[in-house]
Amino acid sequence: MPEVFMPKMGDAMEEGTLLKWLVSEGDDISEGDPLAEIETDKASMEIEAEDSGTLAQIIAQEGDDIPIGGAIAFIQGEGEEVPESDSGGEEAEAEEGGEDEAQAQTATQTEAGSDAEGDEEEGEEQPSGGQADGRANGRFRASPIVKRLAAENDLDLSKVDGSGPQGRIVERDVRAAMERGDAQANGQEEAEAPEAKSAEEPQEAPQVGLQPARLPEPVEGPDTQLVEPTRMQRVIGERMTEAKQHIPHFYATVEIRMDAAMALRKQLNEQLEEEGVKLSVNDFVMKACAVALRGYPNLNAIQTTQGFELHEKVNMAMAVALDAGLITPVIRDITSKGLATISRESKDLAVRARDGDLQPDEYQGGTITVSNMGMFGIESFTAIVNPPQAAIIAVSSIQKRPSYDENGEVVPASMMKLTLSADHRIANGRDGALYMSEVRRVLENPVLLMV
Amino acid sequence: MAETKTYREALREAMVHEMERDDNVILMGEDIGVYGGTHLITDGLIDEWGPKRVMDTPISENGFTGAAVGMAMMGMRPIVEMMTWNFSFLAADQIIQHAAKVRYFSGGQVQVPLVIRGPNGGGVQLSAQHTHSLENFYGHFPGLKVVAPVTPNDVKGMMLTAVRDPNPVVFLEAGALYGTKGEVEEGDNAVPFGKARVAREGDDVTLIAYGRQVNLCLRVADALEEEDGVSAEVIDLRSIRPFDEDAIVESVEKTHRAVAVQEQWRWFGVASEVAAIIQDRAFDSLDAPVERVSGAEVPAPYARNLELAAFPSDKQVANAARRVLYMEEK
């Protein structure tokens, strides 16, 4: 039988939803080719062709619910005819289907038209027929090794200029682009031409394996508000998704008794009051985290095109929350700076970060990040490593707790939790554990911050 | 221990080595005895071994090659000299129709442990009828092994292997290089067939050749290093059949670019085979199409200037390397 039916995929199944067509009308189909994605209440799966031929007609549209045994498409074998002339009823049905399709098409186009940002989702939802033109336009020459490097390193070759004959992209072009870091498929170079690129991205880096979850249409009711993600939100989203998916994180938490550090802070702030300096707990924490790095260079490391680059100087990135997003300005060579300088710089950077006044070189080049949520009373949290760095430290609030002194008496103690998140490709658990206990040692003996 | 010897001396040493080891090893050919050989490869051997081990033959390539095939079938191990490989066309019927096929026809019952050797290729103004590079010609036929050593050490080591091989071996000597010197290992230095030699290590481009073009490639590699800062790897195939595919694939996986150089004409040549193997097995490593540098599509000229123009030159090979590196030609 050349018709394709909605299969029965479970005893309780009555109907299935046609999620997505994987082929288009007119495609040549071989037995076993995946035709469409079907979803039941329990699972989703692909329907495979049981016949070979040409996909003459698509009967069910994406999103349609089809009862078991209902026809969803027609595959025309050699010498067979599309059952248009069989009976009036079927013909009418077929025509109706055709209209539905036309309407659906128009609707999609209208949406895309009204949506100036017209981004990835649209591109993926488009039936494959719509992509043919873009694919033709997006063609370019590249040598085989370039294509391999692009696949291995997740590069977008449309961002690379070719220096070979007829603009062929050759190895030296792609190596140079990798060194500059401006060929990443999900890179930060969004500013250039986001529209053109988002249209090309699905073609250059076809999603293999992992597919994003199917998103619902917005309700658009009176009590809902539809918000476009800002560019910054989108970049943060992409980078954090990439980091969380690609970096094998491990975590190590220590609890630190902060009484000595608090006392020292109080003493220093009293002395420095006239100079207008007020040291924050975070200044102490950042300095301690930097000083403790001395013996653990692979936590102060950058992942590069040619392996991990261990850095001697600590360029401390500090996460600053903004109204819509966050940014990580950098205090350079922080170990060489005193607490007062760190305090001044961090305040200045934070203020200007919120005002949007940072220069690019002020938020680039960090080698490790500290993210502090202590001011919000958070007991503990874990952060996502900030690529290409190897580690980030999550700082939580100081909380008064009962604790035992050396005589076994219960005494009040100011405790703070720090959680390290680190890239397991660069550092191992032992590095993380030893480093975190060194941070604790420094903060519990804060005079060490002075040397 | 290694000693410096000429290609000619190394070749003679290998044959003597095998004659001493095995009484079945005999030499045959035109003028190889009393006259000492046109290229003096066998000079003096008849005095030492006598006319039964060092046989002068009539000017009849098909006849004496046929005789040698028969001897080999009967268990002897003849080494036949073609005064030059150009004359082997007269013996092609015996080589291709008999030597290469007897083992196959007899279901493996009869072997033909025969070596046919002689100078191959051009470069010494012998003109059209005496200038052929026949490695692709003989390499085409299943049943023949074909080798083309370029160093004195390899010519000795590969001759030892050739004599010991139970199958007919076409032994193509670099005729223009009989007088070149090189270190030759003492004693039994048998070099296995089917193993290419990395003549020079490099990272940026692979130059693949055999026979005297290997020396050309080594010169070009030095020039590229000096003039262009390019690190070229040179692979000496030395064995045409069996062929060391892995060696060139491994190298191209490192360098991503390849130039195949051959003295013979471009069409249906060894370089085409090299290019096909690379695109087949190292496609995803390639940064540029494989270049071939070959002889000009004319019968070899006599005049020195024309002969030089008809064979691959340093400049042609260097520019081919620059092209695959996407550099300016010079």
Q: Do A145 and B326 touch (CB under 8 A)?
A: no
- The residue with greater pLDDT, B250 or A41, is B250
Do A284 and A343 lie in a common domain? yes
Do A187 and A61 lie in a common domain? no
Question: Which of B287, B290, B328 is the best mutation test for A, with the most CBs of A within 10 A?
Answer: B287
Q: Do A147 and B284 touch (CB under 8 A)?
A: yes
Segment A317-343 shows an average pLDDT of 91
Tokens 């999603």 — which residue? Answer: A207
Task: State how far residue A307 is from chain B, nearest Cα, in angstroms.
Answer: 18
Provide the residue count of chain B. 330
Residue B271's pLDDT is what? Answer: 97
* Lowest-pLDDT range of A57-71, A98-112, A388-402, A409-423: A98-112
- CA B315 → CA B209, B305, B320, B321, distances in Å? 16, 15, 8, 10
**For residue B314, what is the enclosing H or E element?**
helix B314-324
Do A177 and A276 lie in a common domain? no
Do A19 and A163 lie in a common domain? no
Q: Which residues of B touch A172 (CB under 8 A)?
A: 326
Domain's final residue, options A57, A91, A111: A111
Do A57 and A107 lie in a common domain? yes
Do A104 and A162 lie in a common domain? no
Report if residue A229 sits inside a domain.
no
Q: Tell me if residue A279 falls in helix, strand or coil.
A: coil
Confidence of residue A285 (pLDDT cuts 50, 70, 90): very high
- The residue with greater pLDDT, A83 or B183, is B183
Report if residue A68 sits inside a domain.
yes
Hey, where are the domains in chain B? Answer: 2-185, 197-324
Q: What is the DSSP letter of B294?
A: E
Chain B neighbours among A 120-149 (CB < 8 Å)? 143-148
Residue A130's pLDDT is what? Answer: 33
B283 touches chain A (CB under 8 A): yes
Query: Nearest-CA residue of chain B relative to A144?
Result: B284
Edge-to-edge strands of the sheet including A44-48? Answer: A44-48, A34-39, A15-21, A65-67
What superfamily would CATH give domain B2-185? Thiamin diphosphate (ThDP)-binding fold, Pyr/PP domains (3.40.50.970)
Report if residue A121 sits inside a domain.
no
% pLDDT > 90, chain A: 36
For B60-72, b/e burial (b = at least 16 CB within 10 A) is ebbebbbbbbbbb
Query: Nearest-CA residue of chain B relative to A175?
Result: B287
Q: Do A171 and B285 touch (CB under 8 A)?
A: no
Q: In the predicted model, is pLDDT for residue B34 greater than 90?
A: yes
Report if residue A159 sits inside a domain.
yes
Provide the residue count of chain A. 451
**For residue A5, what is the enclosing H or E element?**
strand A3-5
Residue B276's pLDDT is what? Answer: 97
Confidence of residue A100 (pLDDT cuts 50, 70, 90): very low
Same fold, B2-185 and B197-324: yes
- pTM of this prediction? 0.53
Task: State how far residue A172 is from chain B, nearest Cα, in angstroms.
Answer: 9
Q: Which residues of A touch B287 (CB under 8 A)?
A: 143-146, 170-171
A171 touches chain B (CB under 8 A): yes
Confidence of residue A208 (pLDDT cuts 50, 70, 90): very low
Query: Nearest-CA residue of chain A relative to B287?
Result: A143
Would you tell me how many other CB atoms lie within 10 Å of the CB of residue A219?
9
Provide φ and ψ at A294, rounded to 5°: -45, -45
Do A177 and A48 lie in a common domain? no
**Are residues A48 and A95 in contact, defined by beta-carbon separation less than 8 angstroms?**
no
| Active-site annotation holder among B9, B18, B30, B61 | B61
Segment A378-402 shows an average pLDDT of 94
Q: Residue A296's domain spans which residues?
A: 234-450
Domain's final residue, options A111, A131, A153: A111
Q: Do A144 and B288 touch (CB under 8 A)?
A: no
Task: State how far residue B291 is from chain A, nearest Cα, in angstroms.
Answer: 15
Task: State how far residue A138 is from chain B, nearest Cα, in angstroms.
Answer: 21
Confidence of residue A420 (pLDDT cuts 50, 70, 90): very high
Segment A251-265 shows an average pLDDT of 94
Confidence of residue A84 (pLDDT cuts 50, 70, 90): low
Would you tell me how many other CB atoms lie within 10 Å of the CB of residue B143?
18
What pLDDT, in 10s, does the model give residues B96-139?
Answer: 999 999 999 999 999 999 999 999 998 888 899 999 999 999 99
Question: Which residues are CB-contacts of B64 (< 8 A; sequence separation ≥ 6)?
Answer: B28, B29, B57, B58, B80, B91
Residue B316's pLDDT is what? Answer: 97
Closest CA to A339 of A282, A294, A270: A282
Segment B75-89 shows an average pLDDT of 97
Do A167 and A285 lie in a common domain? no
C-alpha atoms less than 13 angstroms from C-alpha of A173 in its C-beta half-sphere: 26
Number of domains in chain A: 3
Report if residue A368 sits inside a domain.
yes
Q: In the predicted model, is pLDDT for residue A318 greater than 90?
A: yes
Q: Do B326 and A164 touch (CB under 8 A)?
A: yes
Euclidean distance between CA atoms B223 and B285, whole angstroms: 25
Q: Do A171 and B287 touch (CB under 8 A)?
A: yes
Euclidean distance between CA atoms B114 and B145, whole angstroms: 10
Query: Nearest-CA residue of chain A relative to B283?
Result: A144
Do A331 and A424 lie in a common domain? yes
**Are residues A173 and A149 in contact, defined by beta-carbon separation less than 8 angstroms?**
no
ipTM of the complex: 0.77
Residue B115's pLDDT is what? Answer: 98
Report if residue A212 sits inside a domain.
no
Euclidean distance between CA atoms A260 and A447, whole angstroms: 9
Task: State how far residue B225 is from chain A, nearest Cα, in angstroms.
Answer: 18
Candidates A144, A163, A164; nearest CB to B284: A144
Do A107 and A175 lie in a common domain? no
Do A186 and A322 lie in a common domain? no
Closest CA to A390 of A296, A290, A301, A309: A301
Q: Which CATH number fits domain B197-324: 3.40.109.10, 3.50.50.100, 3.40.1260.10, 3.40.50.920?
A: 3.40.50.920
Helix axes A259-272, A429-444, angle to 10 degrees: 50
Q: Do B287 and A146 touch (CB under 8 A)?
A: yes
Q: In the predicted model, is pLDDT for residue A97 greater than 60?
A: no
What average pLDDT does the structure give for chain B? 96
Report if residue A127 sits inside a domain.
no
What pLDDT, in 10s, does the model give residues A434-449?
Answer: 999 999 999 999 999 8
Supply the DSSP string of B207-274, one letter for each residue. EEE-TTHHHHHHHHHHHHHHHH---EEEEE--EEETT-HHHHHHHHHHHS-EEEEEEEESTT-HHHHH
Q: Is-catalytic flag, B130?
A: yes
Q: Which two tokens stand for residue B79?
A: 């080494």
* CATH classification at residue A169: 4.10.320.10
* Lowest-pLDDT range of A122-136, A339-353, A414-428, B296-310: A122-136
